[in-house]
Structure 1
Amino acid sequence: MKRLLSLFLVLLSLRSAAFAAGESSQLEANENIFFVMAAINAAGYDEGINLPDNSPLRKQLREYLEAQNVKILPELKQFFQTASRRKTAAQNYAQYLSYALSVTGAPDFGWKARDVDIPPEAKALEGLTPLLIDFYRQANLEQLWRRALPVYERELEKYHAPIISMSTKIDGYLRVPSSGYLGRRFQVYIDLLSAPQQVQVRNYGDDEFVIVTPSEQPKMFDIRHAYLHYQVDPIVIKYGIDLQQKRSLLDLVQLTPLDDNYKEDFVLLTNESLIKAIEARLDKTPASVDMAMRQGYVMTKYFSEHLPEFETQQQGLRFYLEDMVKAIDLKAESARISAIKFDASQLQRKGKQIITQIEPDRSQAAKTNEQAEGFYSQKNLGKARDLFLKSLQQTGTDEDHSQAWFGLAKIAALEKQPDAAVKLFDKALSSSPDPFTKGWSYVYLARLARAANEPDKAAQYYKLALAVSGASQGALDAANKESKSLTQETSK
């Protein structure tokens, strides 16, 4: 049996390495994602559990874990419940996915990168690590992973040929190497333990990850779109200086339904417009060009007019794009854009929707805080700061405003303004904070005190954090661990 399993693993690795005929591209299952999603399924992650496209593996694993005597499970459930507060189902899944991609794996689940390089949404789940270590051992996840591999192999088979066909076609069209630009890597992971019909994309350093959950048919449109970004993004960025000279066109898209990021960055807007034009050429759907223009991707028409000429010559896009960028006529494009009747809202692609419980009405301040946290997690501190300040001017509860002060304090700490950070954390604490905000505010104040060489004050803050009823498990774990470290330092 062990010999057969070893042979299966060898075949699986060979299949993965063969994807797109290049070492930089892979299609495979990922054991870290399996371990983390198994843990949160046991802890209460029920999103989409009754949808028909679920993998049978998810239900089987949940039933198996429920029948086991996993001693750490109550603590894991408490952590999951606390960490899920104030998050949508999609945000919750995305956070655990980022964590799974940021750790080294069993049995230690340490961080792959330095603290400054860890995605903030993953770092926020640092308290999960000791619980996951125990859960991995007590639930015997390594054995479950090996038993699940044949199920993953069948799902991988659905994607293998379509992805090879897709990547080969795009590489040929763009005339780029399958290994990517400057050694970058494109990887598709299959996740069978999460709500179906989802596609998530992550860019970490030089690597691009696409994670797909179960669906009746492979989500090839979304995977292709991600692969186009993988190949096109670095090429467009190469001509960023030239494109910035055309940024006056941004003035004409401010009333479109575009996300604000596109309204503020012409390179980003051009990049997405080019990709949409390429998709229209590949699919032979000229109507999609007009649709993209109405949505605000206003350079799509320009590129769709120039791509036929690109297709007839020999240069790759990496070199040919320079000519297309330099040929942009501001006067002509301004006239074209001014004539567009833009859509009133963003287009939502058709697909099965995950049914969630209807949340009670939230204040405007709470909604703004959520938007601000999104920009904070993307390290767009300027935009996050503006939104937290806006939240303070809006109608909301004391807790909502406390969360805004807390957000401003975190930004000040990141920007190395310790005095301002201390005042803002104090303001958050004096504004009737919820237990999550209260616990973490004390932890941050303790860290600032340690940095200021005030160990006694730091110790007091850690003590206050540990005394907060209902504080998040992450804050409690951080306070406990760091207070012990402080004690060791001061006793030397």
Structure 2
Amino acid sequence: MFSFSNRASRLIPSRLVPQTCTVFLSAALFASAGLSSLAQSGSQPQSSSSSSSQPSEETTERPKIAPRIAQPEAGGSAVTLETNEPLFDLAVALNACGYDADLEHSIPVRLEIREEVNTALTASADARDHRDALCNYIRLHNMTDSGLNLGQYISLALYLNPPPQLTPTVEETELPPDSTQVVNILPLLRTFGEDVHLHALWVEHRPEYEAAVGKVHDSLTKMILATNVYLRLPVSSYDGRRFLVLMEPMLAPSATNARIYGNDYIVVGSPAAVPEDANPATAVHMDDIRHTYLHYEVEPLIYARASAMDRLLPLLKAVQDAPLDFTYKSDIAAFLTECLIKAVEAQTMDVGIARPKRPTQVKQRADLERYDAEMTEYNRQAEAVRRKSVDLSKRQGWVLVDYFYAKLGQMERDGVSLKDDIGEMVYGMDVDRQRHDAEQVAFLPQGTHDLVRRGPRQLSGLDLAEMKLMKGDLDGATSLARTALSDPAADHAEAHYVIARANLMQRQPEEAQVNFEATLKLSKDPRTLAWSHIYLGRLYDVQSEREKAVEEYRAALTVRDSRPDTKAAAEQGLKQPFAAPNVQHQEQDDNAPLDPSGKAEKDAYRPPSQH
């Protein structure tokens, strides 16, 4: 289960109160019949972003947290339920400036904090002036889409140091793009926070926040375990990927905000006020949280099979008229992921029918026969409900839901895990048949939008070097690649590959040859290996060493990179020697670059992968 800490109180000095209240889900082991145990974690993260470590009396200020929120130590839990003080500050500021969404369904602490803020504002004219400046900024940055409007502040909050700093934990260029639109709110927020004593309010109401988190805890634990039992996957320990659920009662309970930033899968929600005797799971949109968790579990399994994606691309042609977002009409891996998730949801949905109870005492054979008949009828009705959901998904454009629904049913009957079965699901798909079936679907005029928003990837290191190379910034690309070579943990093969191509464009064939040869010694990527051979073949052709060039082109074909442009380039090299397009003009222009890259091959300088 989650471990939970309740240490914050108004007696703790304000500068020592941790940024977050966090509960952790420890790793679990599966037996052949399913989940066998889920033990309480005995270790807690040591970062200042968790309430799991006692504040030291020698501490005088909070250390700067890592760019990613509440990052645990290796081996800790990958799944956490948290609160977050910068998010609290921004949510209170929004409330003070007219954010009343779903106020009537919020838990009492939201009204209590609003009233205390109003009392502080009434007592100070300066505070009111600062509030007005803050509200004016929020008004000027208002967006028509309420979800996007709130999302930009949530994005910013997740990358802030705790008060009183409230400064970004990364450079502005590394912030989520939507948050950069409102990053200049921070000076106004800091002043507002001092005026109304936001940190004192955070400490004062911490018990209510922890109580709200506690109510969600059990329901979230059951959801995580049930999902992993169905998929027959272990609840993983921290391996660089995180699934975080943040509770903020100052936000509207009716809306769930979910996003993926790099390796962090984040859901931000607010508990609703429910009767004491009600199911605690109804206090939050657990279906939305589960949908995001399925992204967290399913995406790595899909993207690990990127080499099989090209053969599935014809499926996208069949959904170009479907009411889908452009992402799913252009990214086959994203499309497959969403279809598989919807199929899991259909297989495990609450069908709204009471399941018959097996008799505890069987006195007559007729009792078992009656139960079997009731179960048969229940299964028939339940399947009808699920099939209706599947058919609706297909008409909304998710045409592979039917295929994955059937495959999941077989997986369940066979007792295998999704990880073991996903390969056959992807590689074994009859693409022509699925495309034909998709072409018969009459799409609805409107579909559904995925709850999860994915932040654009912030390029760095060799990925950024690749992008600079594509844009012609050769010095910048080379500098980043040489920096990677000095890092023992970096991809030295890719670094040499970047430098080699930059060498070509700078008319440095000898240096290029050295770096391509270094790439061949270090790389295990088929595409990098194949194109290194092709580049070397072209270099040899330019130097009139045809035999060596032919050997390189043949080597490129033996690597078996699956892309058609690779095969075409290598076969063309075997047919006739490569001639750099500008060779005939070198006498007129001594600065013209030696270019064995072949501009005709569009992927000669391939951009960094987005997955």
**TM-score, structure 2 normalization:** 0.53
* 1:328 equivalent in alignment to 2:429: yes
Distance in 2 separating the partners of 1:67 and 1:5 = 19
Indicate the percent of aligned positions where both proteins have the same amino acid: 29
Conservation of the 8 A alpha-carbon contact between 2:8 and 2:203: no
SS in 2 for 1:16: strand
SS in 2 for 1:17: strand
Conservation of the 8 A alpha-carbon contact between 1:180 and 1:231: no
- What code does the residue aligned with 1:53 have? H
| Shift in alpha-carbon separation, 1:417–1:74, aligned structure 2, 3 A | farther
Distance in 1 separating the partners of 2:137 and 2:221 = 40
* 1:36 equivalent in alignment to 2:90: yes
> Which residue is equivalent to 1:106?
163
Equivalent of 1:136, from 188, 193, 202? 193
Query: Deviations 1:301-345 (Å, cap 9, x if unpaired)?
Result: 111111122224465323321111111112211221122222121
> Which residue is equivalent to 1:345?
446
Distance in 2 separating the partners of 1:198 and 1:96 = 14
Which of the two has greater helix per residue? 1
| Shift in alpha-carbon separation, 1:259–1:195, aligned structure 2, 3 A | same
| TM superposition shift of 1:240 | 2.1
| Shift in alpha-carbon separation, 1:109–1:151, aligned structure 2, 3 A | same
Conservation of the 8 A alpha-carbon contact between 2:19 and 2:162: no
| TM superposition shift of 1:119 | 0.8
> Which residue is equivalent to 1:226?
292
| Shift in alpha-carbon separation, 1:182–1:140, aligned structure 2, 3 A | same
> Which residue is equivalent to 1:235?
301
Equivalent of 1:63, from 101, 112, 115? 115
Distance in 2 separating the partners of 1:64 and 1:36 = 16
| TM superposition shift of 1:25 | 1.0
> Which residue is equivalent to 1:289?
390
In the TM superposition, what are the counterparts of 1:374-389 in structure 2 within 5 Å?
378=456
Equivalent of 1:48, from 95, 101, 108? 101
| TM superposition shift of 1:416 | 7.3
Higher relative contact order (CA 8 A, sep 6+): 1
* 1:270 equivalent in alignment to 2:336: yes
- What code does the residue aligned with 1:67 have? T
Distance in 2 separating the partners of 1:133 and 1:417 = 42
Distance in 1 separating the partners of 2:256 and 2:85 = 18
Conservation of the 8 A alpha-carbon contact between 1:36 and 1:132: yes
> Which residue is equivalent to 2:138?
80
Query: Deviations 1:112-152 (Å, cap 9, x if unpaired)?
Result: 22333211111121211111222222221111001111222
How many aligned positions are there? 355
| TM superposition shift of 1:194 | 1.8
Distance in 2 separating the partners of 1:233 and 1:146 = 38
> Which residue is equivalent to 1:437?
none
In the TM superposition, what are the counterparts of 1:89-488 in structure 2 within 5 Å?
89-179=146-236, 182-215=239-272, 216=274, 217=282, 218-283=284-349, 285-313=386-414, 315-347=416-448, 378=456
| TM superposition shift of 1:223 | 0.8
Equivalent of 1:17, from 24, 29, 43? 24
Conservation of the 8 A alpha-carbon contact between 2:324 and 2:396: yes
Distance in 1 separating the partners of 2:417 and 2:171 = 36
Distance in 2 separating the partners of 1:330 and 1:149 = 54
> Which residue is equivalent to 2:496?
none
SS in 2 for 1:179: coil
Distance in 2 separating the partners of 1:98 and 1:203 = 10
**Which ranges in structure 1 are unaligned for 5 or more consecutive residues?**
350-373, 381-414, 419-492
SS in 2 for 1:211: strand
Conservation of the 8 A alpha-carbon contact between 2:324 and 2:448: no
Distance in 1 separating the partners of 2:90 and 2:424 = 47
Conservation of the 8 A alpha-carbon contact between 1:16 and 1:27: yes
Structure (1 or 2) with the larger CA radius of gyration: 2
| TM superposition shift of 1:83 | 1.6
Query: Which region of structure 1 is more displaced relative to structure 2, 159-168 or 86-95?
Result: 86-95
| Shift in alpha-carbon separation, 1:175–1:112, aligned structure 2, 3 A | farther
